[in-house]
Chain A
């Protein structure tokens, strides 16, 4: 039973570029949440998707957008990248009926 998978594992971009990160949830899970973890900090909630819709959003600008597909996988898009967007981006999946979220290994994004 595969856990949460994310791609790519690492990514280097320059300021102003756009990036798309991908997440496949754990088998049987229907909800995907995205988090940003800056160095030395705990993860910060970006948004959560269920039934292909954004259910809840954290304190992140509109440059951060997402999508969920019918197979429950998800994408995180960030436009007009800033240096401060450099972080580990984590995807977590869960069942809508349960509280426990399971995290993927993350995508390390470096913006130069």
Chain B
């Protein structure tokens, strides 16, 4: 059973389009992190959300943590080819720098 479900699994869009990817769970997390990973590389941290209902913006990327801290979304405005990659969400439980539980990721391809 996957603790964190990410959807969609694959997404292919044209440059300039908007998109939203989702990270859902039945469990509560004390924090949730979003990473982007390129082939053969380690995940690179994009953002950490901690408070239920929190919204964080990183240029064209908007991250939201659900009120109940069980789900999160990532919205990209005017996607660019450089946004291509595997987007992973990871939850942390216990508030003690515990292990991260990852979803399987959303593989995004932005075509020029």
- Please give the residue numbers on chain A whose beta carbons come within 8 Å of chain B beta carbons, in ascending order: 4, 6, 31, 33, 35, 40-45, 48, 56, 58, 88, 90, 92, 94-106, 108
Contact = CB atoms under 8 A, between A and B. Distances in A.
Given A42-B103, A101-B33, 7 more contacts: A42-B88, A45-B101, A100-B45, A103-B42, A103-B43, A104-B42, A106-B41
B99 A48 contact: yes
A100 B33 contact: yes
Given A103-B42, A104-B42, A108-B40, A98 B97 contact: yes
Most chain B CB atoms below 10 A, which of A43, A45, A102, A105 = A43
A40 B4 CA distance: 15
Range, interface on chain B: 20 to 34
Interface in B1-28: 4
Contacts of B33: 99-101
A73 to B, nearest CB: 16
Contacts of A6: 42
B40 A42 contact: no
B102 A99 contact: no
A42 B105 contact: yes
Interface in B88-106: 88, 90, 92, 95, 97-105
A4 B44 CA distance: 11
